[in-house]
Amino acid sequence: MFKDIYHNLVKILLEQDGWVVTHDPLTIRGLTRKIHIDFAAEKIITAEREGSKIAVEVKSFLGPSLLNDFYDAIGKYELYWDALNQNDPSRILFIALPIGAYDELVLEPFIQNTLRRLGIKLLIFNPELEKIELWIP
């Protein structure tokens, strides 16, 4: 399995944000083919509230075309969402992408419309500052 260039950084950032990475990668079984999502993580909020569970697909957006990278990310998100919905529906799926890609591509109105229509959740990180900038649930 190929790991994205930012895979290890995003894992560290999740842990610094209080998440416990439980799977690296998260393998969805029970399907005809195995599906591998970069991470699964859990975060216990308080003793009174149940924990949150997420899956994160890391995308670098370093290809020659940001739009083609976006197509790839959307396709994977849709496939992974369906697999999670069947096998682990309590887990929320996010695409992790660098802030540069977010600023250049995702702020476009038609891209925002697509993200909203498909319900895609984003984790925006800054690779230079090595921090999570924004969660878009």
Dump pLDDT digits (tens) for 52-87: 899 999 999 999 999 999 999 999 999 999 999 998
DSSP bridge partners of 91: 53
Residues of the chain with pLDDT under 70: 1-2, 30-31, 43-50
Beta-strand runs (E) in the chain: 20-23, 26-28, 35-37, 39-43, 52-58, 91-98, 121-126, 131-136
- Residue 47 pLDDT: 41
pLDDT at 1: 55
Please give the pLDDT value at position 67. 92
Count how many residues are written for the chain: 137
- The pLDDT of residue 45 is 47
**Structure confidence at residue 29 (pLDDT):** 73
Position 4 scores a pLDDT of 84
Please tell me the distance from the alpha carbon of residue 93 to that of residue 26, in angstroms, as a whole number: 11
What is the pLDDT at residue 31?
65
pTM of the model: 0.90
Q: Report pLDDT for 106.
A: 82
